[in-house]
Amino acid sequence: MHEGFLVYANSKYLKWAVALSVASIAAYIFYEPIDEHNGGTVLGYILGTVGVLLIFWLTWLGIRKRQYGAHFRLTGWVSAHVYLGLSLIVVATLHTGFQFDWNLHTLAYALMIIVIVSGIFGIYAYARFPRLVSENRRGVSMDDLLTQIGDLDRECRQLAISLPDEVSSLILKSCEETIIGGSIFRILSGKASNCPSDAAFTQLRTLISTVDQEHALSTRKLLVLTGKKCGLLGTVRRDIQLKALMDIWLRVHVPVTIALLVALTVHIISVFYYW
């Protein structure tokens, strides 16, 4: 779908966005304010009005597009949302006259940039990550992956029963203390530092040359099984990481959009109050 909205209707909304940006830049260049460019000039008010209308309209589109089932209609909403949203960078920046300070309009501008950047990341995420998820799983479902890990744990436990404590303790710790998921930072990293299963695999490689001959074959089998488990754990963690990355941008995009609307409303009220 990402390719569809990027070129929807012969890139109609891209052309609109470019036209709006070029018109805004031309107006900024040729308009001569009495003092200097800022949001309080005639052009500043015009660009500010255009920017506010765009923001509220695009927010409405973000809600409205979820109510349409037809592919072409949904693609059109998304295309407008993306391209006209990007044009806001030009319109809003020229509205400020490149004047920023510790004030409300700068806060609104910063929130707008965060919304746009998070939206850009969202486009990238939905364009790239679904394919990576498919490649990572190689046609195996998450339930099947977890089932395979559970089966390996049971097989490892059975083999470890008759082995020395130094080996069986590694397997027991691997089976009971391995964690999938965890904190948001751990999930987004896709890695698990100090993973008991990784530690067991590393130590088994060392122990395999020191165990008694009668335990060597079982220890070697444990090494192979633990290696398979570590590979499956890596696949599962990568899957969770990719899905989290596809989801987290919305957890920024939506709340910051709400904050932006509040900041804009207060900004507009204050402008009319002090006018």
Q: What is the pLDDT of residue 208?
A: 87
HSE on the CB side for 51, CA within 13 Å? 30
What's the whole-model pTM score? 0.83
For the cut 90, the answer to whether the pLDDT of residue 192 exceeds it is: no
* pLDDT tens figures, 196-232: 999 999 999 999 888 888 889 999 999 999 999 999 9
Q: What is the pLDDT of residue 180?
A: 93
Q: What is the pLDDT of residue 182?
A: 87
> What is residue 39's DSSP assignment?
T
How far is it, in rounded angstroms, from Cα 82 to Cα 86? 6
How far is it, in rounded angstroms, from Cα 14 to Cα 248? 26
Torsion 61-104-86-1 (CA) sign = negative
Give percent of the chain with pLDDT exceeding 70. 95
* pLDDT tens figures, 85-124: 999 999 999 999 999 999 999 999 999 999 999 999 998 9
Q: What is the pLDDT of residue 72?
A: 45
User: Where are the domains positioned within the chain?
Assistant: 2-138+248-274, 142-244
User: Nearest-5° angle of CA 73, CA 253, CA 111?
Assistant: 120
**Average pLDDT of the chain, as a whole number:** 91
Q: What is the pLDDT of residue 2?
A: 52
CB 222 within 8 A of CB 208: no
How far is it, in rounded angstroms, from Cα 186 to Cα 131? 22
* Inter-CA distances, 267 with 23, 36, 125, 260, Å: 25, 21, 33, 10
Domain 142-244 classified CATH 1.10.287?
A: no
> What is residue 163's DSSP assignment?
S
* pLDDT tens figures, 124-175: 998 899 999 999 999 999 999 999 999 999 999 999 998 999 999 999 999 9
